[in-house]
Structure 1
Amino acid sequence: MTKPHGVHIARLLPWTGSDGKPCFLLTDGDGYLTRVADHVESVQLGMAGELLDHIDDLLADLRATPDQLRYGLARMSESLRDVKRIADSRGARLSGAAADGD
């Protein structure tokens, strides 16, 4: 994202603080932490895709146990939360507003 010199936005980061609250980075769209956040988002999205494939296999397996399905659902919930945070962050950056992290 290119912003005019000196213009900063609050970027919702793809992780939360130790208290579970959203973390923001005041940035012009460039810098070390921006690149770290971009990398973390890329890893999270890749893991979400792999998890979808695994869950598809698990759902197709008639021998899958309730515990296996519950575990898979818990991981899907975590992954969906990550993907939503990424979407919120990117949507806010596209609109020029700060994401609220909800």
Structure 2
Amino acid sequence: MKVFISHSSTDKKFVRMLKDALLENSIETWFDEDQLDLGDSLVTRLENALDTSSHLVLILSPNSVKSDWVKFELKKALDNKRTGLMQKIIPIKYRKCEIPR
């Protein structure tokens, strides 16, 4: 199992704790600050990571629901779910927010 964690950068502290908890339970994660290098093509790296992840954990917060990057990641994950590349999309409501439809 490989989990892609989609989040807003303002929620990094919580996401780091979540990532550490998943790793302690032998769950591989894709977390941007661990995998991205200076000069990487962000879109290419995100698409490749999403294509090789079995699960997407979507961290919901006021900032994440407004983030174009989170929307991009969710759209790609939904496309991958339809084609069978992604098994599950798991939302976690981290902070009170209006969940878009």
Task: State the TM-score bracket (shorter-chain normalisation).
Answer: under 0.3
More strand by share: 2
Q: What TM-score, normalized by structure 2, do the two folds share? A: 0.25
Give the TM-score normalised by the residue count of structure 1: 0.25
Greater Rg by CA = 1
Answer 1 or 2: which has greater helix percent: 1
